[in-house]
Structures are given as C-alpha cells and as structure tokens.
Copies of this chain bind each other. A is one copy, B any other.
Amino acid sequence: MKFNEFLNHLSNYEPGKDIEVIAKEYGVKEVIKLASNENPFGTPPKAIECLRQNANKAHLYPDDSMIELKSTLAQKYKVQNENIIIGAGSDQVIEFAIHAKLNSKNAFLQAGVTFAMYEIYAKQCGAKCYKTQSITHDLNEFKKLYEAHKDEIKLIFLCLPNNPLGECLDASEVTKFIKGVDEDCLVVIDAAYNEFASFKDSKKHLEPCELIKEFDNVLYLGTFSKLYGLGGLRIGYGIANANIISAFYKLRAPFNVSNLALKAAVAAINDDEFAKKTLENNFSQMELYKEFAKKHNIKIIDSYTNFITYFFNEKNSTDLSEKLLKKGIIIRNLKSYGLNAIRITIGTSYENEKFFTEFDKILR
C-alpha cells in the first residue's frame, strides 16, 4: 500500500525504555530514573486525592469546553479563557503551532541544541529548519539568522529555560528580541520549565498576560508534566491572543485531553505546598551536582531547570550511560543531540546520593 509522499521523509520515533521494562531486562532490584525530568516527589498529594475520588468517572467523556481548568488558568495568569488552549501535553500545542504556520515552502528558527520535538513535528510539514551555531540561545545569532531569512521564517522557538541544556535568557532580552520580529512570524516561548527559572532568578520570569498584551504573535507554552508532577497524564497549555487560539482550535480533535487529567491539573495547580517543596529541593540538591561536577572536572552550564547537563571530554557519554544503567540508574544520554554529554534530572536527596556514589565509582 502506498501512503502520502511526505511519510517517506519521516522516520519512526524509537520510544524510550520504561523504568519497569529496564528493571526486568537488567535484573536490577532498584531502578532510579533521572532521565525524564519527572517530579522527584511524585504526584502532588492533592492530585492523587482528586484522581482517587474521580476514578469512578472514567467512563464519562471529558467536558470538552474544559471550562474548569481554563478558568483556573485564566485566573492564575490574568488572561481570558479565549486566550487558552489545552493540549495533551504542551507537545500537542507545539504540533498545533507547527501545523497552523509551517509548510514545505517556509521555515522555522531555533537554538543549536534544544527540545528535539520541534524538528520532529516540523518535519511532518516539510518546513526548513534554521539553527544557530551556538548550542545555547544566543539572541544576536537568532537576530542575524532571522534578518537574513525573514521572508521564509514564520515561526521561532525559544525554549526558556532550554531543554536539554538548562540555560535561560532574561525576560527583558526576550521582549527586546520579539520587537524586531515581524508580526506574521509566530514566536513560541516554550516555558515548560519556567517556574524553576523564575524561582532561581526573577529576571527569568515570563508573564504570559504581559507578553500577549504587548505582542500579537507570541505563544506561551506551559505544562503540568514538570513542576506539577503530572507527566503521565499528558496535559499542558498554550496562551496567546484569541486569533491564534481560534486557529489552533481548528486543528484540535475533540476530547484531546482525558477527564482525569483535566481534574488532576486543577488540583495540582492548587497544591502550593507541593510546588514549594519541589522548587526548594531542586535548587538545594542542584548545588550538590555542581560540587560533584567541580570535583570531577566535569563541564556544566548553569541550570535554571530541574536537570543538569554534564559535558565530557575524554569519557564517552554513551559508555557512561550504559554503565549507570547497569547500576539501575537511568539518565539521558545526549549523543543523539550531537553532544558528548548526559542530562540528569535532579532527584530526591536519596536518589542523588545514589547517583553520586555510583557515578563516582564509574568515573574513577
């Protein structure tokens, strides 16, 4: 059977290995997963309670108006419901943006190394990808590339802070940059980890209501997968002016998010104690990762996220990842990003200690 031609240019995405699957394969008793930037404290207690209470409603189709969650987000961010779209993860909102703006005759711009899904989704539309030479976000280079290919570039991704490298631009630099971007070019600000950056340094804080008031071409993306501990439920959101949201709605399948995810997300937003604990643990434990790096002469970039990236010179990241795996520790090897580096999620102090102990042995 023949399929649409564009499928020939797409490759099959190889799913990562599940924690339980790995445990079985390697015969390790305890598996510590510091690979997917999940919340080390698990699911927020208020969300657990909500899920248990609503488990008997799994047969009911979701409220497709998503009014409860939209209103909660609208209040939190001081925007209107019409400025919000909910996706099955912020990933799905990235897909909407790409399908709404990109095609085989135009292009998008991103940092040298950033969230891999931008390129993967964009390939489905056949759009050209411009990347900065700098692996981290360098706005001067963004500007140069944009100016040189202004007619082509219809979408710009800014990942703030950046996954998988951890650096973050200041909000003031970002707004200055967007002022130089044509109104017809959509600037997607992927703020999946922005709560972490804001906590560490208020200069990194991005306020969606201010952004969409100033710019008609900005899309702010948030997620419940990181700080809010709901990665398994697939729920995130986009905030933008109503015209953009309305266009995205045309691409959204009805019932794109589960009813339990919609309910748990509201509970998670209201679990302030959990969020506070997560943020405090993250940056106090991050210090230990910095110390460890210093001790072992490992290069790092200052991280504004819930992970840290270790760069290696002689040692090979694939080899190191494999050795950690055998000890039951899963981290993210960044070889597929063209880097000899690993990305480690900041875990609980127990998990981090285990990592330090085992990695110390491996590095000797």
Contacts and interface: CB of A to CB of B under 8 A. Distances in A.
A88 interface: yes
Q: Is the interface of A mostly helix, strand, loop or mixed?
A: loop
B1 A58 contact: no
A341 B281 CA distance: 59
A3 B260 contact: no
B249 A233 contact: no
Interface of A: 1-4, 7, 10-13, 15-21, 33, 36, 38-39, 42-43, 47-48, 51-52, 55-65, 67, 88-89, 91-92, 95, 99-103, 117, 121, 124, 183-184, 186, 216-217, 225, 229-234, 243-244, 246-247, 249-261, 264
A17 to B, nearest CB: 7
Contact of A48 (B55, B99, B229): B55
Given A1-B243, A48-B55, A232 B62 contact: yes
Contact of A230 (B17, B58, B261): B58
A186 to B, nearest CB: 7
A132 B102 CA distance: 36
Contacts of A253: 88, 91-92, 95, 117, 121
Given A15-B65, A48-B58, A233-B259, 18 more contacts: A1-B216, A1-B243, A7-B247, A18-B65, A33-B60, A38-B61, A42-B59, A51-B260, A52-B55, A58-B230, A58-B233, A59-B231, A61-B225, A61-B231, A62-B232, A62-B234, A91-B254, A258-B258
A2 B184 contact: yes
Nearest to A185: B1
B255 A1 contact: no
A250 B259 CA distance: 27
A90 B39 CA distance: 30
Contacts of A256: 88, 234
A330 to B, nearest CB: 12
B244 A259 contact: no
A102 B101 CA distance: 20
A3 B42 CA distance: 39
Contacts of A43: 55-59
A15 B81 CA distance: 14
Contacts of A38: 59-61
A64 B19 contact: no
Contacts of A257: 234
Contact of A250 (B11, B92, B95): B11
A4 B250 CA distance: 12
B243 A258 contact: no
Nearest to A64: B15
Contacts of A42: 56-57, 59
